[in-house]
Structure 1
């Protein structure tokens, strides 16, 4: 196989899997790891893939750009609805407490609550708080702070102070990106700080994220795979990513 043919094959493989390792590529194409690194350097310069430590990811897998809630809410809506329904199994029973992170998938989890559930719910998200006011059994606590327009959620020192005083049964957390190497990540440092505090405040952490988020890495890391008890995603999750997450000890549930 000529170098150009191999590079085209590598680019196609990255597109299919989202992430590949240098060692895996060297074995698959019968070349040295140094040859693979040169191939990846060429593809990176062309903008086809992005080189990361130990391998490569798709060109769009690394980002610091944050998409607004309106656009995100209409993206992969069916998958998010299935995730939200399945997530109900992992919420505390009546009398428990749950912390809802901001996000379009977490908002669907909140909206899918049983109407007769007796629950203490805490959130920093204005849209989620608005939805939960219609549930008679929910005792709602809205965290204060500076509200970011793009996520419609409170962030900052006041939000972190309030979270630092809480202990809840379950935190339902969203993420913009998740890999075994980089963990959970998001574009904004203030959002990352709030998510990190939510994880610290919970006895059990349930991450809800559609499969498009898996294999991506964003600007700010707010948690490791070890911080998650359960990941609920959809059946479009690539098999390789599923194996990597399971090998890291994470319970992965497909909706």
Structure 2
């Protein structure tokens, strides 16, 4: 089989299945995994698929990986409320400087900031800034950048550069997927770059995610597990996953 024929066959296979693994393709076409990776890179440049960790997904699948913020807010709403309340117990007495990532769970956490303390909140999320700006016990700093419709959060070079010049006591980040193998990940590269900068700019990092995202691997990794101090999730997490995260050095708090 010529390379062009293999490329067409791979593209058709990914389109029909939605996702395929490198090892599966190598076995199917009797070529090396290195050859498959080169094939996938060429097909990605042609926008026929999107490479992900260990394989590729169809472009249709990629567009479905990231729901709008309003849709995500309704999904697992009860779990997210409990996660936010549990995360609030990690807030230090006396207040501090917080970096708050965009997301349906982090906005719930923002509403949990005790009014008896003074807080400095740095965020790229427009809804979080709008929620906190009127409150006298919170000093809000909204980061610059282009606001994405899907997340209502600022992203881009200006956002990343602004975060890199900051140092916060505590960061709360959301994620579209988390696994021992792939770490924390999200579909959008610009969103990932901002999240990565947030993680790097905090002395302590807390990840907030409901159990449905555990084991999920999205296109772009923005943090390794070792970058996270605490994972706050709900009681739906599988015992095996909980043990795996703890073995990787992450403290897990279940709500």
TM-score range normalised by the length of the shorter chain: 0.7 to 0.9
Unaligned runs of 5+ residues in structure 2 are 1-13, 24-53
Q: Secondary structure at the match of 1:217?
A: coil
1:167-214 alpha-carbon deviations (Å, 9 max, x no partner):
000000000000000000000000000000000100000000000110
Structure 2 distance, partners of 1:220, 1:117, is 36
If the length of structure 2 is used for normalisation, what is the TM-score? 0.76
Aligned residue number for residue 138 of structure 2: 138
Aligned residue number for residue 222 of structure 2: 222
* Structure 1 residues 247 and 126: CA distance shift in structure 2, 3 A: same
2:126 is the counterpart of 1:126: yes
Aligned residue number for residue 250 of structure 1: 250
Q: Secondary structure at the match of 2:253?
A: strand
Matches within 5 A, 1:10-21: none
* Structure 1 residues 191 and 49: CA distance shift in structure 2, 3 A: closer
Contact 1:177 1:217 in 2 (8 A): yes
Structure 1 distance, partners of 2:128, 2:165, is 21
Aligned residue number for residue 117 of structure 2: 117
Aligned residue number for residue 173 of structure 1: 173
Structure 2 distance, partners of 1:117, 1:74, is 30
* Structure 1 residues 252 and 51: CA distance shift in structure 2, 3 A: farther
* Structure 1 residues 221 and 48: CA distance shift in structure 2, 3 A: closer
Structure 1 distance, partners of 2:95, 2:105, is 24
Contact 1:97 1:169 in 2 (8 A): yes
* Structure 1 residues 247 and 51: CA distance shift in structure 2, 3 A: farther
* Structure 1 residues 130 and 52: CA distance shift in structure 2, 3 A: farther
Q: How far 1:91 moved relative to its partner?
A: 2.0
Contact 1:168 1:203 in 2 (8 A): yes
Structure 2 distance, partners of 1:121, 1:154, is 15
Structure 2 distance, partners of 1:49, 1:140, is 42
Contact 1:87 1:232 in 2 (8 A): yes
1:34-72 alpha-carbon deviations (Å, 9 max, x no partner):
xxxxxxxxxx9x95996588xx9xx9xxx6321000000
Aligned residue number for residue 22 of structure 1: none
Structure 1 distance, partners of 2:139, 2:246, is 35
Q: CA RMSD in A?
A: 2.3
* Structure 1 residues 230 and 190: CA distance shift in structure 2, 3 A: same
Q: Secondary structure at the match of 1:221?
A: strand
Q: How far 1:127 moved relative to its partner?
A: 0.4
Matches within 5 A, 1:182-221: 182-221=182-221
Contact 1:92 1:98 in 2 (8 A): no
Structure 2 distance, partners of 1:224, 1:105, is 20
Unaligned runs of 5+ residues in structure 1 are 1-43
Structure 2 distance, partners of 1:212, 1:135, is 33
Q: How far 1:165 moved relative to its partner?
A: 0.7
Q: Secondary structure at the match of 2:93?
A: coil
Aligned residue number for residue 149 of structure 1: 149
Aligned residue number for residue 41 of structure 1: none
